[in-house]
Structure 1
Amino acid sequence: MRFEMTSGRFQMSDGSSEHLKKFVFSSKPRVNSNTPEEKVEIIIPELLQAGYSFYTWPCAPVLGWFLWERRHDLVDKRILEIGSGTALPGILAAKCGAQVTLSDSCILPKSLAHIERCCRANNLIPGQDIDVLGISWGLLLNSVFSLGPIDFIIGADCFYDPSVFEDILVTISFLLDQNPGAKFIFSYQERSTDWSIEALLKKWDLRCFSINSENIGKVSGVNIHDFMGGHTIHLLEITR
């Protein structure tokens, strides 16, 4: 992956600063192949002083590259991203032809508005090309019931605080019950070896598998560790 950030910093009216980041996902044509290079560029506006959900954390491009290398399988798939933040993985999935709903906390209207801004920065019109929805982890509000069929749930760095672990899994458990055969694929940054969801998985009758991430990016000549920022990041899959 190539990563670029514009050199300018933009001052917002509330005193926060904005950076624009450009993520480029591309594939190398095979040697002696007439297949053209495939490439998607995604622009993410970040408000660096505004809060957790306004910054693209290292887990997002890791999940993004996992999705990119399966882009042909995403066409017409129905995908829900939870805890979208700046929504890099979900926007990428939409650019690859998936039907995507981006979601974040229903009590954070500024975060939801920023998700919509990230969509528009990439020529995706909310409500037309992509959907944005406020939900609440652990509480089955009307917005959760309004979701249509789902093939995949995705999330980047949702398990950032043990206080939300069970709330996330309650929501995932419900959605997997409603969508037999669906999977929850997520990237997780290891912040403490004491944190675990094992007991919660048993409580909610869920199964978790580790996804081998060592080969992600190699086909495109990318070293996945270059954008992990020195962190340990895992890719995992949860099913019923």
Structure 2
Amino acid sequence: MRFHMNGSSDENDIVTATASAEHIRKFVFGGGADAPEDRLEIKIPEILQGAYSFYTWPCAPILAHFLWERRQTLMCKRILELGAGTALPGIVAAKCGARVVLSDNCILPKSLAHIQKSCLTNQLQPGVDIDVVGLSWGLLLNSVFRLPVLDLIIAADCFYDPSVFEDIIVTVAFLLERNRGAKFIFTYQERSADWCIEALLKKWKLHASTINMDDIGKQSGVDLLEFMGGHTIHLLEITLNEPE
């Protein structure tokens, strides 16, 4: 099985939309006909002229709905979001009772500040209800060793450039080795059949499997195609290869 990854200039470069003002984008989870009272609304501040981490890309709401529909299993789970950006999946997990650490590149203070703003917009106090840390992929800095014990690692659309693929895989492999039994679950947008992580998974002794997305969003009456915008998006789970 080949796992083709995403990468495109529209996510690697500065977004050049003409709108400059920040706006609030709302995401609704639950509230379907079967349980209208079971509803969660998340408000995400976005800046269309900011770097790509200031915008909620299609992979994020899909991962967020996946987590929401498993919210009963998230209570008190310790979750790390890599490359959090606007942090929609991690914030949803925190609202579902998980103990969440949101991370982004430690040399991007504005991105980290925006994550904190996303938290505060949803009544989550950084350092109290949720944590925000700088973490650079591929570098085993002090921030990596200070992370708590983890049950789950998540990411939405982190594989945006082949130059960072191994850095991400190295970080994930290290964290999974330190947190036996943890999983890395992530969404990615496919844009090139030439880009894949199969060789890297083998090199770092990891195993990947696809997660069926057919039913995601149905509990909330959401059509995932609305988020995909014509793109092909996949959901994967990565674990350590256990010795035979």
TM-score between the two structures when normalised by the length of structure 2: 0.89
Pairing 1:24–2:15 present: no
CA contact (8 A) 2:30 2:219 kept: no
CA distance in 1, matches of 2:64, 2:159: 17
CA distance in 2, matches of 1:219, 1:107: 39
Pairing 1:55–2:59 present: no
AA aligned opposite 1:23: F
User: Counterparts of 1:138-157 in structure 2 under 5 Å?
Assistant: 138-157=138-157
Question: Could you say which residue in structure 2 is the equivalent of 1:195?
Answer: 195
Question: Could you say which residue in structure 1 is the equivalent of 2:101?
Answer: 101
CA distance in 2, matches of 1:29, 1:147: 40
Superposed displacement of residue 209, structure 1: 0.4
CA distance in 2, matches of 1:22, 1:209: 31
CA distance in 2, matches of 1:124, 1:27: 22
Gapped regions of structure 2 (runs ≥ 5): 1-18
Gapped regions of structure 1 (runs ≥ 5): 1-14
Question: Could you say which residue in structure 1 is the equivalent of 2:177?
Answer: 177
User: Counterparts of 1:31-70 in structure 2 under 5 Å?
Assistant: 37-70=37-70
- SS of residue in 2 equivalent to 1:17: coil
Question: Could you say which residue in structure 1 is the equivalent of 2:15?
Answer: none
Q: List structure 1 segments (4+ residues) > 4 angstroms apart after TM superposition.
A: none
CA contact (8 A) 2:185 2:236 kept: yes
Superposed displacement of residue 221, structure 1: 2.2
Aligned length, in residue pairs: 222
CA contact (8 A) 1:29 1:37 kept: no
TM-score between the two structures when normalised by the length of structure 1: 0.90
- SS of residue in 2 equivalent to 1:125: coil
AA aligned opposite 1:47: I
Question: Could you say which residue in structure 1 is the equivalent of 2:160?
Answer: 160
Computed over aligned residues only, the root mean square deviation of the Cα atoms, in angstroms, reads 1.2
- Taking only the aligned residue pairs, the percentage that are identical comes to 69
